[in-house]
Amino acid sequence: MKKLIIALAASAALLGGFSTGAQAQEKKKVCFIYVGSKTDGGWTQAHDIGRQELQKTLGDKIETPYLENVPEGPDAERAIERMARSGCAMIFTTSFGFMDATVKVAAKFPDVKFEHATGFKAAPNLATYNSRFYEGRYIQGQIAAKMSKKGLAGYIASFPIPEVVMGINAFELGAKSINPNFKLKVVWANTWFDPGKEADAAKALIDQGVDILTQHTDTTAPMQVAAERGIPAFGQASDMIAAGPKTQLTAIVDTWGAYYIKRTQALLDGTWKSEQIWDGLKDGILTMAPYTNMPDDVKAMAEETEAKIKSGELHPFTGPINKQDGSPWLKAGEKPEDGVLLGMNFYVEGVDDKLPQ
Amino acid sequence: MRIELQKRARVSTLFSIVSPILALALTLVFGGIMFWLLGKSPLGALHSFFIEPLLEVWSLHELAIKAAPLILIGVGLAVCYRSNNWNIGAEGQFTIGAITGSILPVLNPDWHSPLILPLMLVMGMLGGALYAGIPALLKTRFNTNEILTSLMLVYIAQLFLDWLVRGPWRDPQGYNFPQTKSFQIEAVLPEILASGRAHWAFIFAIVAAIALWFMMRFMLKGFEVSVLGQSERAGRFAGFSARKMVWFSMLLSGALAGLAGISEVSGSIGHVQPSISPGYGFTAIIVAFLGRLNPLGIIASGLVLALTYLGGEAAQLSIGISDKVSRVFQGLLLFFVLSCDTLIHYRIRLHFGRTRPAEVAG
Amino acid sequence: MFEAILLTVITASTPLVIAALGELVTERAGVLNLGVEGMMIMGAVCAFATAQLTGSPYLGILGGILGGGLFSLLFGFLTLTLVANQVATGLALTILGLGLSGQIGESFVGQSGIKLQPIAIPFLSQLPLVGRVLFAQDLTFYLSIALVIGISWFLFKSRAGLKVRAIGDNHGSAHALGIHVIRTRYLAVLFGGACAGLAGAQLSLVYTPQWVENMSAGRGWIALALVVFASWRPWRVLAGGYLFGAVTIGQLHAQAFGLGVPSQLLSALPYAATIVVLIIISHNRRTTLINTPASLGKPFVPER
């Protein structure tokens, strides 16, 4: 009985659509699944801002339902499947931990398009996308080397995964391009999201003598601590200038919106293809927050580096680069393959920490 | 107005049945008002919460998947709590069970034998039991409070798991991301029916619940649990040992939590990763009490709680009710169930008007 | 550097100490409220919201206390009036608190909070070594110390405190002696909730002046553990809280120092340390039994 009513309603809607001819199709659903809260001030919020941009730009053709705070594991698989069954035409799964769940559901629903952020498993209806965050970290490293009097920066890291290690290395390489003796202290907070612990880590680093701070965790707590202690710092995932108006030098801002619009347009045009996309500064998938609280010459240098990275003239990982123990990794002028970067599990020379293995 | 309770001479059978229905009705009314205040259709919201997840076969499978660990852990905890042992670290035992159960497939990915799965399950149970054995040992040997030690061990287990999958167990072909290789097909807990994902963990849960119900109801051991739980002294007169009971109940609940852990990893996830449980070990404590520490009741309460998780998701997708509201709604349901259960043991009298001083006592 | 580290430890330990002290009084009256995490997060969001709306962090503190206190009455009504199971109700309170706080705080996310400023006590704060650490702190720190002293005096020196302990040890006899068991327990629960709320206010106004969902991040559970760890003695709560804070901060310093030990191992240290100290303390069966409230977690219905 219920099914009958739904069927009747659906056909009525269809008939209505055809008869007026104005809206030949009902709105397509483009769905998003988040690992955190959409107001976490970091990773998930950046994705949600992207979704809102998408909704604003293509809102007359699509709807954008979402699920937040979905735990990684079997819950994710169920949530994604529910989306696929509820008529989503395309589903963005925005956390690495959703990878296997996305792969499994994608195999069951060949007509639905899937896009998984930061993963490495693909299928004909499953694309992956990622952002070259390390490009921004390199610029941060250069600024840090110019701004730090001691040549010693503190890095609050979340978990030892390649993306984070890559960021630490890029920061150190950027810094060393200005000051070859630059050192970096790393503290692993073992969390993406715990303001108290992040603040404690920031204080510990400052107490150990670093005079500039950067973070790869998601809340603004470290920025607040830096502001209080009066040392400069870099923001992460979103522009954190509000937490440190006199503190933030710049921030890596994840700007997924352009990408979401591009892919949704492709879906609407029927030109969507499964691709493994790893975009960078030049594609606008990440942007640098305004360069603030620094002398003009430092700002000019940062802008120049940013322009060089965008034009492809500069690749942050260009040899000669030694590994932490001094053994050579890249020869002069050599650049690593993307696969090597994506699986990075070693430090470059100058990082004052032992990488958890 | 004043509320006064009067103990019933015996447990009311009528209210054993009426109380959950009353609780549900109250939840529907108050939940409906809440949704209405938030500008959502109350009927639509309640429909997505309680009906939508039950309408489709695949969703019923998902319900079984979500309920299985809750029931498995919950029935073990019920025995623990009945015997007055307060294991609240089932989450840690779940985690360790998942780890010890996964040793075989992670270290021997090329071992294709039908033996592997039963061995994994046994090792998972052993791991969970041993981990619960730590608070048992500390309680019997050093008189250390088990609430605290079992809780602390949860954090340690989670950090150990984290270290394992980011370090020694990491899949070398996985771009150094923190997860192990996917288990070989022989190491995956099979699905029960072809129509969905539900796997054998649900059967384990039902069997465990019935077995423990039988034990509590008809076996001497069950009697021993109840007597020692009510009064250690009385138990001693009957010749029961409270010390042995600590071991029995902790090892039992640990083993079941461990079984839930390895079943979840093997059946639902297929590899080991840093986050394997959205707090099943803690939610199961509520499940145990909602089921009034009765194994059969726990089957029902586990299913209901699982339903609210699925329903929360459905409501978020179909009418945009945020997950925070879902959690508040879940809290409401729990509160109403807990308070309505009062009716089973007590008569409630409402007194209006001023209270006389003599009545204030108490 | 030593002074700076000490200040960090104090900030990290204060919320644990305050919340644990509140729970200690609740448990001394024989009520086990496992909902500390939920009351704490409600305190955090109410404090932050009040401070943002009024512009005064002190009103914020008050808001946090009220928020945590009122929320605890829900627990009180269920467990004391309706004699629902305390363990289950406490856990449900945490679920409800986490959801409700997220809902209340939604519009405050991303706002920069107002930090509660330290108050330097004249003269004393000039003392060498300890001056700045002990006498130039914010209100919550002073309150935590006052609470330790006040609760010790109240429980062990005052008549009312004696009644609270009598109820916790044997509510039947206390009732027979004419002590208002339920009323006293309500007050004890309320006090516990207010303290948890104050601890939450410290999180969102001092520790990290901002509001984000789940920002208590398990500190309520640690506070619960501290109570047992301290075997229900206020001064030991203080010691335990600072020990836990010191180990937490110490492991971060060990990392920044570059010791090269797995960070998970270091993160696990505070928990392992708690267990070890607990074993040492509870080894002596008699002292533990003396301090443990015998009626803890047991329901009470006056017979008529």
pLDDT tens digits, C151-182: 999 999 999 999 999 999 899 899 988 899 99
Q: What share of chain C is helix, strand, coil (3-state, %, to 5)?
A: 75, 0, 25
Residue of B nearest to C106 (CA): B324
pLDDT at A22 over 80: no
Q: Is cis: bond before A320, omega within 30 of 0? A: yes
In a domain, C304, yes or no: no
> What would the two tokens of residue C288 be?
């533990």
Q: Where is average pLDDT lowest: A251-260, B95-104, C18-27, C111-120?
A: C111-120
With beta carbons under 8 A apart, name residues in chain B contacting C274. Answer: 148, 152
Q: Does the pLDDT of residue C267 top 60, yes or no?
A: yes
Q: Is C292 on the interface with A (CB under 8 A)?
A: no
More confident residue, B151 or C49: C49
Q: What are the two backbone dihedrals, phi and then psi, of residue A214, each rounded to the nearest 5 degrees? A: -140, 160
Residue B18 has pLDDT above 90, yes or no: no
Name subunits touching C (3+ CB pairs < 8 A).
A, B
Q: What is the pLDDT of residue A357?
A: 62
The pair of structure tokens assigned to B286 is: 């509520």
Give residue-wise pLDDT tens across range C35-53. 999 999 999 999 999 999 9
Residues of C in contact with A40 (CB under 8 A): 109, 212-213
- When mean pLDDT is compared across A251-255, B144-148, C160-164, the lowest value belongs to B144-148
For residues C207 and C194, what is the distance between their CA atoms, to the nearest angstrom? 18
Q: Which residue of C has its CA nearest to A218?
A: C212
Cβ-contact A34, A21 below 8 angstroms: no
Distance from the B320 Cα atom to the nearest Cα atom in chain C, whole angstroms: 14
Question: What is the fold, at CATH topology level, of the domain defined by A27-131?
Answer: Rossmann fold (3.40.50)
Q: Where would I find the beta strands (DSSP E) of chain C?
A: 119-120, 136-137
CB contact under 8 A, C99 and B282: no
* pLDDT value at B252 more than 90: yes
Q: Given CB atoms, is A35 within the 8 Å cutoff of chain C?
A: no
Judged against a pLDDT cut of 50, whether residue B185 lies above it is answered with: yes
Q: Which amino acid is at B278?
A: P
- Looking at beta carbons, which residues of chain B come within 8 Å of C272? 152, 156
Q: What is the H or E stretch that residue A31 is in?
A: strand A28-33
Counting the structural domains of chain C, the total is 1
Q: In this predicted complex, what is the ipTM?
A: 0.87
Label residue A7 exposed, middle or buried (CB < 10 Å: 0-12, 13-18, 19+). Answer: exposed
Identify the CA nearest to B157 among candidates B283, B254, B251.
B254
Count of A-C CB contacts under 8 Å = 103
Distance CA(B57)–CA(A350), nearest Å, equals 57
Is position C300 within any domain? no
Domain contains C302: no
Does residue A68 belong to the interface with chain C, where contact is any CB pair within 8 Å? no
Residue (of B297, B237, B293) closest to B76 by Cα position: B293
How close C138 comes to chain A (CA, Å)?
15
Candidates B174, B269, B322; nearest CB to A73: B269
What does the buried/exposed string (b/e) look like for B36-62 if buried means 16 or more CB atoms within 10 Å of the residue's CB? eeeebebeebbbbbbebbeeeebbbbb
Domain ranges for chain A, please list them.
27-131, 133-253+286-352
Q: Assess whether pLDDT exceeds 70 at residue C296.
A: yes
* Nearest CA among A236, A242, A254, A234 for reference residue A142: A234
Which residue type is seen at A153? A
Helical (H) or strand (E) element with A92:
strand A88-93
Residues C88, B334: C-beta atoms closer than 8 Å: yes
- Side-chain half-sphere exposure of A2, counting CA atoms within 13 A: 4
DSSP B269: I
- Tell me the shortest Cα–Cα distance from B16 to chain C, in angstroms: 14
Q: In angstroms, how far is the first alpha carbon of chain B from the final one?
A: 15
Q: CA of C294 to nearest chain A CA: how many angstroms apart?
A: 36
Q: Which residue carries 């978020």 as its tokens?
A: B316
Task: Give the residue among C20, C68, C72, C62 at the shortest CA–CA distance from C42.
Answer: C68
Q: CATH top-level class for A133-253+286-352?
A: alpha beta
CB contact under 8 A, A186 and C110: no
Q: Which of A171-175, B125-129, C274-278 has the lowest mean pLDDT?
A: C274-278
Range of the domain at C17: 2-291
Is C246 an 8 Å CB contact of chain A? no
Chain C stretch 149-168, residues whose beta carbon is closer than 8 A to a beta carbon of chain A: none
**To 5 degrees, how large is the angle CA B66–CA B71–CA B76?**
145
Angle at alpha carbon of residue C160, lines to C159 and C163, rounded to 5°: 90
CATH for C221: 1.10.3470
Flag if A356 and C5 touch (Cβ within 8 Å).
no
Quick one: which of B336, B331, B337, B326 has its CA closest to B301?
B337
Identify the pLDDT of residue B353: 60
Q: Is C209 on the interface with A (CB under 8 A)?
A: yes
Widest distance between CA atoms in chain C? 67
Q: How many Cα atoms are found within 13 Å in the side-chain-facing hemisphere of A143?
A: 31
Give the burial class of C292: count Cβ atoms within 10 A of its Cβ; 0-12 exposed, 13-18 middle, 19 or more buried. Answer: middle
Interchain pair A342, B167: CB under 8 A? no
CA B41, B43, B48, B50 torsion-angle sign: positive
Q: Is residue C128 part of a domain?
A: yes
Q: Which of residues 6-65 of B touch C (CB under 8 A)?
A: 6-7
Out of A73, A78, A357, the one facing B62 most closely (by C-beta) is A78
| pLDDT reported for residue A19 | 37
Look at residue C247 and tell me whether its pLDDT is greater than 90: no
Query: Chain A residues with CB-CB distance to B under 8 A?
Result: 2, 31, 37, 65-75, 77-79, 81-83, 85-86, 96-97, 100, 120, 159-162, 190, 339, 342-345, 356-357
DSSP result, A278-329: EE-GGGTSEEEPP--SS-HHHHHHHHHHHHHHHHTS--SS-S-EEBTTS-EE
Q: What's the gap between Cα C278 and its chain centre?
A: 19
Give the strand order in the sheet containing A213-215: A286-288, A248-254, A233-237, A213-215, A152-157, A183-188, A351-352
Once rounded to an integer, what is the mean pLDDT over residues B120-130?
Answer: 97
Q: Identify whether the C-beta of residue C200 lies closer than 8 Å to the C-beta of residue C216.
A: yes
The residue-averaged pLDDT of C48-76 equals 97
CB B250 within 8 A of CB B132: yes
Residue A202 has which token pair?
Answer: 């920031």
pLDDT in the model for residue B287? 92
Residue C157, in any domain of the structure: yes
Pick the residue from chain B with its C-alpha nearest to A164. Answer: B177
Name, in order, each residue with C-beta under 8 angstroms of A354's C-beta and a sequence gap of 6 or more: C258, C259, C260
Average pLDDT of the residues in B208-228:
93
Cβ within 8 Å, pair C88-B360: no
Residue-range domain boundaries for chain B: 67-305
Q: Is residue C47 part of a domain?
A: yes
Taking 80 as the threshold, does the pLDDT of residue C109 lie above it? Answer: yes
A27-131 and A133-253+286-352, same CATH topology: yes
Among A1, A73, A41, A53, smallest CA distance to A260 is for: A53
Q: Is residue C63 part of a domain?
A: yes
Q: Where are the alpha helices (DSSP H) in B108-200?
A: 116-142, 146-166
Contact check, Cβ <8 Å, A200/C5: no
Q: Which of C99, C89, C101, C96 is nearest to C33 (CA)?
A: C89
**A203 near C CB under 8 A:** yes
Helices (H) and strands (E) in chain C, counts: 13, 2
